């Protein structure tokens, strides 16, 4: 460790002794950089390293001044991993799996932001993503949508952090699915350009997204099997149609979910389903008007409004999140808090 990094780590603002020493691998992507910021400001987590394959030697706060993380980026060296207790891995799918496997072999608890451990069925993963580098880890990975899997997250050693679209869509639909009321759903979702990642290239150039709005990957987005897997596990039936759209925004995600109900539902019953399911949830807000992306910007909150249509034969559920917070880095820290026995909201409010 460089002298400058050692001095910075010694000056990190902490509330007493750290509960864990944390590595953020892939800290120069949008989600990784935010994860580093959240860990750096966390009262109980000590950020001991931030890594980058292409920008090692630079300080993270030179690349992202707004996050104000004064650590020099280093190349990942797992020979030094005995210095860490936990890691957030922000690599693309495929690249993440071998790093996760090595970290787990060294005893570190891991939250993985890639898709490598989200799909439980290996053939399904390979259909969408290609060969899996560490299939033996699939069985032990916990799908980290905290509000739906809290007990499993608490005892997990490896968390598959959900995608941003699935996070928003599943939180919107869970009360209906768990009640056996979903006979089919169309998810019409829109996200800001940061969801495509820092290296998205020409497709996200301002000239292509400014004053523009378009659907993309309409016949096969990779989040589709993830959404279907989790909805089926909650008891949903019927077809699941998912269509993402690109908004000319930096951050933010809004899902409009059109649900064919298995029976007629009254307004009081619909509201009660959501109030009972999400009672006491620190990061779920039920709204009386359609949520907007600005309502949740720079927060770990999912804001939801369920309404009935067609005389109670159909439900429309709107949900909004910040795709980099609740859809990625914020949820990763929420999960890490639970894994380490900390308060779920620490470092996130």
Transcribe 274-312 into DSSP letters: HHHHTTT-TTEEE-SS---GGGSTTSS-EEEEEEEEGGG
C-beta neighbour count of 141 within 10 angstroms: 22
Q: Looking at 164, 168, 257, 302, which residue is catalytic?
A: 164
Task: Determine whether 331 is exposed, middle or buried from the number of CB atoms within 10 Å of its CB (0-12, 13-18, 19+).
Answer: buried
Q: Which residue has the tokens 């902490």?
A: 14
Task: Determine whether 11 is exposed, middle or buried from the number of CB atoms within 10 Å of its CB (0-12, 13-18, 19+).
Answer: exposed
C-alpha triplet 41, 29, 10: angle, nearest 5°: 30
164 an active-site residue?
A: yes
Task: Compute the distance between CA of residue 321 and CA of residue 206 in angstroms, rounded to an integer.
Answer: 23
Contacts of 113 (CB under 8 A, 6+ apart): 26, 31, 32, 35, 88, 89, 90, 91, 96, 161, 328, 329, 332
Assigned token pair, 216: 């993309």
For β-strands 240-246 and 253-261, DSSP reports them as unpaired
Q: How far is CA 306 from CA 256, 284, 309, in A?
A: 10, 13, 10
Q: Is 158 in a helix, a strand, or coil?
A: strand
Ramachandran angles phi, psi of 162, nearest 5°? -65, 160
Cα dihedral 151, 152, 155, 158, rounded to 10, equals: -150
Contact call for residues 68 and 9 (beta carbons, < 8 A): no
Cα dihedral sign for 231, 232, 235, 237?
positive
Q: Give the catalytic positions in this structure.
A: 164
């Amino acid at each position: 460790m460089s002298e400058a990094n050692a001095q910075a780590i010694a000056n990190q603002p902490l509330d007493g002794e750290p509960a864990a020493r944390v590595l953020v691998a892939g800290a120069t992507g949008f989600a990784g950089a935010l994860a580093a910021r959240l860990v750096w400001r966390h009262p109980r987590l000590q950020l001991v390293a931030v890594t980058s394959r292409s920008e090692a030697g630079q300080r993270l706060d030179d690349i992202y001044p707004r996050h104000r993380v004064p650590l020099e980026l280093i190349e990942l060296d797992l020979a030094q991993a005995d210095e860490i207790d936990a890691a957030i891995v922000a690599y693309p799918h495929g690249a993440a799996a071998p790093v996760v496997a090595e970290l787990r072999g060294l005893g570190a608890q891991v939250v993985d932001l890639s898709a490598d451990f989200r799909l439980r069925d290996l053939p399904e993963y390979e259909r969408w993503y290609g060969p899996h580098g560490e299939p033996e880890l699939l069985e032990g990975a916990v799908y980290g949508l905290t509000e739906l899997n809290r007990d499993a997250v608490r005892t997990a050693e490896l968390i598959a952090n959900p995608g941003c679209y699935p996070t928003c869509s599943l939180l919107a639909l869970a009360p209906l699915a768990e009640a056996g009321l979903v006979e089919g759903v169309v998810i019409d979702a829109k996200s800001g350009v940061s969801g495509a990642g820092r290296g998205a290239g020409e497709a996200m150039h301002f000239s292509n997204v400014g004053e523009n709005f378009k659907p993309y990957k309409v016949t096969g987005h990779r989040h589709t099997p993830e959404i279907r897997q989790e909805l089926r596990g909650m008891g949903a039936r019927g077809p699941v149609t998912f269509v993402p759209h690109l908004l000319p925004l930096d951050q933010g995600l809004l899902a409009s979910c059109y649900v064919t109900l298995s029976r007629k539902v009254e307004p009081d019953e619909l509201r009660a389903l959501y109030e009972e399911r999400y009672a006491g949830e620190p990061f779920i807000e039920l709204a009386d008007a359609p949520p907007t992306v600005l309502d949740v910007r720079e927060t770990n909150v999912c804001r939801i409004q369920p309404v009935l249509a067609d005389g109670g034969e159909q439900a429309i559920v709107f949900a909004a999140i910040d795709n980099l917070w609740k859809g990625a880095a914020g949820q990763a820290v929420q999960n890490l808090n639970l894994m380490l026995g900390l308060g779920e909201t620490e470092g996130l409010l």
